[in-house]
Chains A and B, each alone.
Chain A
């Protein structure tokens, strides 16, 4: 019997001298049977790299996504809203911690992940490069961007990589509070004064396009989708998830008396699909490459937080030499 500690450094235990092709056949059969792949299992390098890229991006999005919301904590209109928003920001940062641990099980150390975010080479969800201008933006972000994230995360939870799937179980549970809280803010504004309704409509007008773009470029633009779906790294295509979002949330947005700023948006009776105006994908690319309204600010705030936390890391490193006392 080979003993191992699967959590410290994954050792591939089923690397038994078979050819790569043979191992791939077993791997694909297991995934097709709905089995989870663990850090100690053999996996194709493209699977590992794709998961690292995706989960790292997801973790970064949780951290960076907390930044625009955090700006509003001092300005929340009531004490209860302030508590809830603080709790949400705390959750999001916790999600990043869980996700960075998942990336580590794939062999990429946390120091490298953190460094790549600070030096601007890592990606995160584009939607967080736009500014939250009013309190209504906080409601729209927590309701609709979290809704979009939840739809995607509930699918990914059924994915093939065990550690990611388990982390997402907990994350989805916490997200459900974010969404309710955001919806609650929007209902308050929608049933409030004319000024509040206008503020909500204005927020939706500014956020609608970034939200539609949240699900990523249209399917015709992505190259590797087939393989990623077969390996259950992706569970649905970008367009399919976007359609699911429209199905679930367009009626709820209308229900609040809001209009969606897209004259083309309607459900086509024949195909059952939503027709909509494509977001400007050139602009999307430009923002992702670092030229959006808030990219520089987000990274600068992140870097500041990192520098100001330096003394905590030093104190922890010193504490690592102290002995913890086990209970007996």
Chain B
């Protein structure tokens, strides 16, 4: 639907606590950046805790099309690059039970 009775939109990013990342929460219509911040504050910081807001013109955002989503798909098993892909504790325990290891100190434990 084409309409030029509306101002442009601004994407709103909200920061809950100093040091946290800014998180996208929605968008507002506004004639300029300053108004966008004011409206964003009214819309998104009424009661949720907020220490800072960013607004970005929606037209500045470039997105990947969803029909390209398969490029994010791992074609192969990628467990080799995840910490959970390695069961090291289990391997050490198993090796100790089979006496394949000879701990140098008695107090060597978990």
Q: Does B73 have its Cβ within 8 Å of any Cβ on chain A?
A: no
By beta carbon, the residue of chain A nearest B102 is: A257
Contact status A257-B83, CB under 8 Å: no
Taking CB atoms, residues of chain A closer than 8 Å to B58 are 326
Q: Which one of A84, A165, A324 has the greatest number of beta carbons of chain B within 10 Å?
A: A84
Q: Which residues from chain B contact A80 at a C-beta distance below 8 Å?
A: 80
How far does the alpha carbon of A324 sit from the alpha carbon of B64 in the complex, in Å?
Answer: 12
Which of the candidate stretches B23-31, B42-50, B85-93 sits at the interface with the other chain?
B85-93
| Interface residue tally on A, bucketed by range | 35 or more
Q: Are A38 and B81 in contact (CB under 8 A)?
A: no
Supposing A38-B18, A162-B18, A327-B63 touch, asked if A187 and B105 sit within 8 A by C-beta, the answer is no
Does B18 contact A181, Cβ atoms closer than 8 Å? no
Residue of B nearest to A1 (CB): B34
Cβ–Cβ contact A35 & B19, under 8 A: yes
Asked if residues B18 and A183 are in contact (CB atoms below 8 Å), the reply is no
For A328, list chain B residues within 8 Å (CB).
59
B37 contacts chain A at the CB level, 8 A cutoff: yes
Chain B residues touching A, range = 35 or more
A229, CB-defined interface residue at 8 Å: no
Contact: B86 with A87, CB < 8 Å? no
A191 within 8 A of B: yes
Residues in A neighbouring B108, C-beta threshold 8 A: 251-252, 254-255
Given A3-B33, A166-B21, decide whether A180 and B83 contact each other with a Cβ distance below 8 A.
Answer: yes
* Contact, CB under 8 Å: B104 / A184: no
Q: Cβ of A259 < 8 Å from any Cβ of B? A: yes
| A72 interface hit (Cβ, 8 Å) | no
A residues within 8 A CB of B109?
Answer: 251, 255
* Given known A-B contacts A254-B103, A256-B92, A326-B62, A166 and B19 have beta carbons under 8 A apart: yes
Q: Mark A168-189, 1 if CB is under 8 A from B, else 0.
A: 0000000011011101100100
B82 at the interface (CB under 8 A from A): yes
Chain A's closest residue to B56 (CB) is A5
Taking the closest CB of chain A, its distance from the CB of B90, in whole angstroms, is 10
Instruction: Check A258 for interface membership: any CB of B closer than 8 A.
Output: yes
Q: Which residues does chain A contribute within 8 Å of B95, judged by CB atoms? A: 187, 190-191
Inter-chain contact B88/A176, CB cutoff 8 Å? no
Contacts of A181 in B (CB 8 A): 80, 86
Contact mask for chain A residues 141-182; partner B; CB cutoff 8 A; 1 contact, 0 none: 000000000000000000000100110000000001101110
Q: Are B91 and A184 in contact (CB under 8 A)?
A: yes
Q: Is A187 a contact of B92 with CB atoms below 8 Å?
A: yes
Cα A256 to Cα B89 in complex, Å, equals 11
CA distance A284 to B82 in the complex (A): 34
Q: Is the CB of B34 within 8 A of A187?
A: no
Q: Is B1 an interface residue (CB 8 A)?
A: no
Q: Which residues does A use to contact B, with CB under 8 Å?
A: 1, 3, 6, 35-36, 38, 80, 83-84, 87-88, 91, 162, 165-166, 176-177, 179-181, 183-184, 187, 190-191, 251-252, 254-259, 324-328
B residues whose Cβ falls under 8 Å from a Cβ of A: 18-19, 21, 33-34, 37-38, 54, 58-63, 65, 80-83, 85-86, 88, 91-92, 95-96, 100-105, 107-109
Shortest Cβ-Cβ A-B pairs, 8 listed = A36-B19, A87-B81, A180-B86, A254-B108, A176-B83, A255-B108, A257-B102, A84-B80
